Structure 1
Amino acid sequence: MSDIKAQFEQAQKDVKTLTKRPSNEDLLTLYSLFKQSTDGDVKGARPGMLDMVGRAKYDAWSKLKGTSADQAMKNYLAVVKKLVG
């Protein structure tokens, strides 16, 4: 297992230990970076207007289109480090 993947997995555990809920913006950032790291570019149709949460998640993820998995993992690590530390 590569070092970045090990750090990424540890960061996923670390983020669950936060005592204070991150802001919605931080949550969207974490979600989109996680999805880009694990699933690649966004797939499927954009959710409808009535699904505001799904639409926000889709939009955040679609902004990362073309970002490599390794870069997304590094960005995820930076966000978790900021939130934890």
Structure 2
Amino acid sequence: MTREELEILFDEAFSNAQLIPQDSVPQDLQLVLYGLYKQATSGNTKSMHFQNTQDIRNAFKLNAWMQVKHLSIEQAMEQYIEIINNLMKERNI
């Protein structure tokens, strides 16, 4: 699969993610998806931080991203697509 094809599938998965009721996705999986999305769209950047890491929500988000920083952009896209597709299939969307 080419990078362009992967990006198209990733964009479709992101659009499809908006169709999944947020309250039907466990918070830990929401954080995994957040980390994968950030890694897929930003990669490893030196600015991997938030303005206020005292805010517990932002600290969890930062941690989720840091957990997947070892993945390449392509790997993060692939994992994000797979999770979204599985969620859609489980929910018959």
TM-score over 0.5 (shorter chain): yes
Gaps of 5+ in 1: none
Residue 17 of structure 1 and its aligned partner are, at CA, apart by: 0.8
Equivalent residue in structure 2 for 1:47, among 21, 44, 53 = 53
Residue 44 of structure 1 and its aligned partner are, at CA, apart by: 2.9
Local SS of the residue matching 1:44: coil
Gaps of 5+ in 2: none
Percent of aligned positions that are identical: 25
Letter in 1 for 2:13: A
1:4-52 Cα distance to aligned partner (Å, 9 max, x none): 100000001101111462110111011100000001125136812xx11
What TM-score, normalized to structure 1?
A: 0.87
Q: What CA distance in whole angstroms lies between the structure 1 residues aligned with 2:64 and 2:21?
A: 24
Partner residue of 2:79? Answer: 75
Q: What CA distance in whole angstroms lies between the structure 1 residues aligned with 2:66 and 2:21?
A: 29
Q: Pairwise mapping of residues 1-85 of structure 1 onto structure 2 (< 5 A)?
A: 2-19=4-21, 21=23, 22-41=25-44, 43-44=48-49, 47-48=53-54, 51-85=55-89
Q: Which runs of 4+ in 1 moved over 6 A?
A: none
Q: What CA distance in whole angstroms lies between the structure 2 residues aligned with 1:54 and 1:44?
A: 9
Number of aligned residue pairs: give it: 83
What TM-score, normalized to structure 2?
A: 0.80
* Aligned partners of 1:41 and 1:64 also within 8 Å: no
